[in-house]
């Protein structure tokens, strides 16, 4: 098992779903975990601490610059450093383009792109100033490659996350490794079968492995990318998608 003993990991969107699974997996690997969410992540914190791990919660809107800067001040005061950032916070919109208004476009882009940018910028700034050989792991999506009707804004936002990943990987190599995980359909609050349109459900059921994935199938890769066995991997968008995308 990958050991992250002595590392401090910051996970956004940590209160549920993929973020929760990643936070718990990082703690199980020995990391101290900063749980960042715009909702209550007390349950996740308790789950980690009851198992002997170390975690703290922070309530933050990742799209707000002032809040993000204050977050890093607090995390650095509490943990001393940030070795790994996991940019997981995200929102999803299924809506025809011609019915999508500007406020909905801004809502998706603010969280998925602006939030990733702000969190990444502050984490990388700290890593450089402190000489930390850090990792940034951005959560993108298989839809960044596939595209999907009625998901154009979401697809565009996740394609932007992939572009940020590749640019940062080049800009900050070799000291900081930056990669993306591109999940396919994963069983989370964001993706519930009862909330899926028939067209959407038909597309998901057509993937080669024939099922929706689980958050724990994402968290294992995140721990690997945060650990000592991934030192020659940067600028990659790695799919965990049941075969929905095969580059």
Residues designated as active site:
154
At 229, phi and psi to the nearest 5?
-95, 0
> Which residues share a beta bridge with 240?
183
Strand order across the beta sheet in which 54-59 lies: 54-59, 32-37, 8-12, 84-87, 135-139, 177-183, 237-240
* CA-to-CA dists, residue 105 to 37, 174, 232, angstroms: 21, 35, 36
Residue-by-residue DSSP string for 33-53? EEEEESS--HHHHHHHHHTT-
Give the integer Cα–Cα distance in Å for 77 and 23: 20
Nearest CA to 244 out of 214, 215, 203 is that of 203
Tokens of 41: 């992540």
With tokens 């979401």, the residue in question is 154
Give the integer Cα–Cα distance in Å for 181 and 162: 9
């Amino acid at each position: 098992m990958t050991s992250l003993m002595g590392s401090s990991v910051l996970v956004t969107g940590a209160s549920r779903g993929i973020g929760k699974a990643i936070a718990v997996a990082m703690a199980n690997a020995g990391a101290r975990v900063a749980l960042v969410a715009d909702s209550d992540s007390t349950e996740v914190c308790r789950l980690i601490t009851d198992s002997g791990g170390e975690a703290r919660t922070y309530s933050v809107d990742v799209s707000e610059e002032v809040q993000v800067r204050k977050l890093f001040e607090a995390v650095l005061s509490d943990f001393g450093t940030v070795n790994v950032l996991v940019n997981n916070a995200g929102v999803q919109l299924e809506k025809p383009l011609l019915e999508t208004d500007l406020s909905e476009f801004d809502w998706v882009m603010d969280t998925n792109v602006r939030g990733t940018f702000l969190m990444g910028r502050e984490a990388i700034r700290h890593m450089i100033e402190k000489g930390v050989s850090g990792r940034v792991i951005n959560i993108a999506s298989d839809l960044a490659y596939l595209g999907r009707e009625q998901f154009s804004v979401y697809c565009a936002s996740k394609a932007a996350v992939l572009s940020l990943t590749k640019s940062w990987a080049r800009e900050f190599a070799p000291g900081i490794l930056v990669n993306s995980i591109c999940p396919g359909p994963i069983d989370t609050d964001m993706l519930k079968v009862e909330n899926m349109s028939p067209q959407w459900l038909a597309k998901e059921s057509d993937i080669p492995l024939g099922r929706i994935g689980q958050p724990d199938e994402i968290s294992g890769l995140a721990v690997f990318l945060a650990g000592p066995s991934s030192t020659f991997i940067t600028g990659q968008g790695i799919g965990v998608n049941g075969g929905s995308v095969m580059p």
